[in-house]
Structure 1
Amino acid sequence: MTTPTTILFEQRGAAAWITLNRPAAMNALSDAMCTELLEAIERCERDAAIRVIVLTGAGRAFCAGADLKGVFENTQSGPGPRDPMGEFLDLVNRMMDKLRFCPKPTIAALNGLTMAGGLELAMACDLMLAAESTRIGDAHANFGVFPGAGGAAILPRRIGPTAAKYLLFTGDTLPARDLVPLGLVNSVVPDAELVPEVEKLAARIASKSPLVLRRMKQTVADGLEQPEAVALRLERLVLEAHSHSHDIKEGLAAFVEKRTPNFKGY
């Protein structure tokens, strides 16, 4: 793993905190940042001691989207064997997919402005907690840019097509609190309480069986694309496999013995 220059990586208990660290650029996504995020997520996947991943930003933004200066430069290249814009989008989507399909629970801790690629990054996480001052929007239309990592494809699935089209068409940002009823944001807390609240949530999740969390996450994702009857059959098949695991036996034994379970993740 290269030495990070655009992110900070810290392990707090069983949670890895990855902080986007380009505050002067509102934590805009660059080639270097996307590469470092990809490597950091892979590191978390390999480390059994890490059970939850938290993504947040330094300064007054979570992430303002892609680095538009870099995007502009990439669009100016003439015909040739390289396609810098395409290469950047491929890198962004590899990183987003790595985060989206990570088997461990992920939390986006929105500490400030979250828009365009920043919103797409947050949506790649499982849960989203926001500071009171956070504003969220798409903003691609403000610069004549088309979304490339879920803004037009995933946002309507999260908040419905009408609300999504409002954010897409207007480029407006809304208070994070307005997006709680639509199911995009789990909760909003005072700015000073964001980190403590996310730490508490991460610790609660990390105390659960890593195996059951991984299977729950995968079954939810797979089931959403299936008719209800198919999703139910899938759930039962996963339960059948899970019934032979150490963690279910340990969890039930701990219940009977009135003690805290010691989950192993297998």
Structure 2
Amino acid sequence: MTADRPAASPVTPMEHAIPFETIVVEKRGPACWVWLNRPAALNSLTLEMAHELEAAITAAEADPAVRSVVVTGAGRAFCAGADLAALHAHGGSIAAPLGDFLAELGRVFTRIEASPLPTIALVNGLALAGGLELVLCCDLVVAADSARFGDAHANYGLLPGGGGSIRLPRKIGPARAAWLMMTGEFLPAADMERAGLVSRIVPGDALVETAQSLVETLATKSSLGLARMKELAAIADGCSLEEGLRRELEIVADYATSHDLQEGLTAFAEKRQPEFTGQ
């Protein structure tokens, strides 16, 4: 099923939606919702889709009313990976087009991962190969109980090239990552929750309600504070303990001069809800 539309129906842009060809973008309250919209191809990734995803993230960041981004899929899949049929259609050697595609896809995925906005992957079906790599770039992962995850590259003699071979072991550990990458097996959401990739599992018909509740919760927090938390989380994967602790203190010290931290402390002392400004 889709995140909130019948599985058999393509996503249709609604009023105030930003027009794109391969995705649909809507602003819903404090969140920017992005649907991967190639349901007949299981939302497989193309360069056009990657560029549109980047444009959607950029537009969301430029809107001060947007406090988070939700990414989900139209139809019965979240994303089944790269559009291999389109790549194969080039004919001759696939090395050059594949290399160019993966380099650009990896750049866009890193751009999404580095966004100061909290990103939520709302996984409504299959998340395979490049689709799994997209999930790995999101901060929070809410999955339907029927969702399945897999690296799948080995099934066609391919290698993960959108960052999966680096991010997956860091997220779920090297042993589980090796299993997924080498076997090509699709695992249920419950297994991926236990592995540490999925944040929460809900019934399929509760995906939208859960996501809407989550974005409303995030909107009550300091946007600057959440952005700094993302910086802290990113540090943990790429440095020694000593370096990480040093960088943590630097970021906390910088944030200590912000309005939002002072407002939070004042609100606590006055026993009221804080009114954050993101500054």
Q: For each residue in 1:9-55, what CA deviation from the matched residue of structure 2 results, as whole angstroms up to 9, or x when unmatched? A: 11111111111011111000012211111111111122111111110
Q: Which residue of 1 aligns with 2:225?
A: 212
- Amino acid in the other structure paired with 1:224: D
2:58 to 14, 39, 42: 42
Distance 2:142 2:217 in 1: 15
Q: Which residue of 1 aligns with 2:257?
A: 244
1:77 offset after TM fit, Å? 4.8
Moved more, 119-128 or 84-93: 84-93
Distance 2:116 2:82 in 1: 26
Q: Which residue of 2 aligns with 1:158?
A: 171
Superposed structure 1 runs of 4+ greater than 3 Å apart: none
Q: Which residue of 2 aligns with 1:12?
A: 28
In structure 2, stretches of 5+ residues that fail to align are: 1-17
Give 3-state SS (helix, strand or coil) of 1:11's partner. Answer: strand
In structure 1, stretches of 5+ residues that fail to align are: none
Q: Which residue of 1 aligns with 2:144?
A: 131
Distance 2:237 2:173 in 1: 15
1:85 offset after TM fit, Å? 2.5
Instruction: Report the TM-score, using the length of structure 2 for normalisation.
Output: 0.89
Distance 1:78 1:143 in 2: 14
Give 3-state SS (helix, strand or coil) of 1:102's partner. Answer: coil
Contact kept, 8 Å, 2:149 with 2:187, in 1: the verdict is: yes
Q: Which residue of 1 aligns with 2:38?
A: 22
Q: For each residue in 1:199-229, what CA deviation from the matched residue of structure 2 results, as whole angstroms up to 9, or x when unmatched? A: 1111111210011111111122123322223
Aligned: 1:32 with 2:48: yes
2:109 to 87, 96, 119: 96
Distance 2:40 2:97 in 1: 24
Contact kept, 8 Å, 2:72 with 2:122, in 1: the verdict is: yes
Distance 1:3 1:105 in 2: 23
Q: Which residue of 1 aligns with 2:215?
A: 202
Alignment size in residue pairs = 262
**Percent identity among equivalent residues?**
47
Contact kept, 8 Å, 1:96 with 1:121, in 2: the verdict is: yes
